């Protein structure tokens, strides 16, 4: 049956940035589809772990700040995933940060902080997980891109650069690893009602201009992305790789 190909029973996922928002939504969705989930976050993912347990799946928490983690620490997180839950079949690189400042005055520390979390950690975790997935002949890596993987935005040069790079990295890894049974894709959320967009939503004029361009007429929610995460993690997407999938309420086609 076709619906069976969307099931994730017996698989193990590692999700970054999983205390709230899109990462929490992804982790819970994967668990509801049958996966056990490791939650990697600098904060306390107890709420997400409880939701996973309520879905009848196992959860394991790893406290780690991706902004300061070394490649070795990220490889250790993958090794801990394997040791605690028995393997790694799915990696969701969701964690991301944003710093807003005009490009001419953008602090170097903001640039470095954003690239460390949004790009460097994505590569090093993908590399560590990818090695294991290649060895076992299967795996799913799902990166979180952005509308700013396609556009430039304003006041966020580091974020835009990092999300363009995530799209490029997704394609590069997909090219190298497809023959080994490992797919690498990305979801590109539109304007989502999360902590990252709180300053924009608090600006009445800016929020109105954004809503006017979204054909769906509303901000997205973490729930709007759950289906895409499950699909890309599943056997139903076995022949999908190198794709950047917009989930944006029609923003890009307006």
Domain membership of residue 218 (yes or no) is: no
pLDDT at 197 (0 to 100): 83
pLDDT digit of tens for each residue in the chain (254 aa)?
Answer: 899 999 999 999 999 999 999 999 999 999 999 999 999 999 999 999 999 999 999 999 999 999 999 999 999 999 999 999 999 999 999 999 999 999 999 999 999 999 999 999 999 999 999 999 999 999 999 999 999 999 999 999 999 999 999 999 999 999 999 999 999 999 999 999 888 788 889 888 889 999 999 999 999 999 999 999 999 999 999 999 999 999 999 999 99
Domain membership of residue 98 (yes or no) is: yes
102: domain range? 2-193+223-238
- Rounded CA gap, 230 and 38, in Å? 16
Packed helices 157-177 and 121-136: angle between N→C axes, nearest 10 degrees: 10
Domain membership of residue 251 (yes or no) is: no
**H or E segment and range at residue 93:** strand 90-93
Phi, psi angles (nearest 5°) of residue 216: -70, -15
pLDDT at 127 (0 to 100): 98
Domain membership of residue 215 (yes or no) is: no
Question: What are the catalytic residues?
Answer: 159
With H, G, I as helix, E, B as strand and everything else as coil, classify residue 249.
Answer: coil
How many separate domains does the chain show?
Answer: 1
**The tokens 């790079």 sit on which residue?**
165
Residue 233 sits in a domain whose CATH number is 3.40.50.720
Task: Tell me the pTM.
Answer: 0.96
Domain membership of residue 201 (yes or no) is: no
């Amino acid at each position: 049956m076709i619906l069976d190909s969307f099931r994730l029973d017996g698989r193990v996922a590692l999700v970054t940035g999983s205390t709230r928002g899109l990462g929490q939504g992804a982790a819970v969705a994967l668990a509801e589809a049958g996966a056990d989930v490791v939650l990697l976050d600098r904060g306390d993912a107890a709420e997400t772990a409880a939701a996973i347990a309520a879905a009848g799946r196992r959860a394991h928490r790893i406290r780690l700040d991706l902004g300061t983690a070394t490649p070795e620490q990220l490889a250790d997180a993958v090794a801990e995933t394997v040791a605690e839950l028995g393997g790694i079949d799915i990696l969701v690189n969701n964690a991301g940060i944003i710093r807003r400042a005009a490009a001419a005055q953008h602090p170097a520390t903001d640039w470095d902080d954003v690239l460390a979390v949004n790009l460097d950690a994505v590569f090093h975790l993908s590399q560590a997980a990818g090695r294991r997935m290649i060895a076992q002949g299967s795996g799913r890596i799902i990166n979180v891109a952005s509308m700013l993987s396609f556009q430039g935005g304003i006041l966020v040069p580091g974020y835009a650069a990092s999300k363009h790079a995530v799209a490029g990295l997704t394609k590069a890894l997909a090219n190298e690893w497809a023959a080994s049974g490992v797919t690498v894709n990305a979801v590109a959320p539109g304007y989502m009602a999360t902590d990252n967009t709180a300053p924009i939503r608090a600006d009445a004029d800016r929020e109105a201009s954004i809503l006017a361009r979204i054909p769906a007429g509303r901000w997205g929610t973490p729930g709007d992305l759950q289906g895409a995460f499950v699909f890309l993690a599943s056997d139903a997407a076995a022949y999908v790789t190198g794709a950047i999938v917009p989930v944006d309420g029609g923003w890009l086609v307006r």
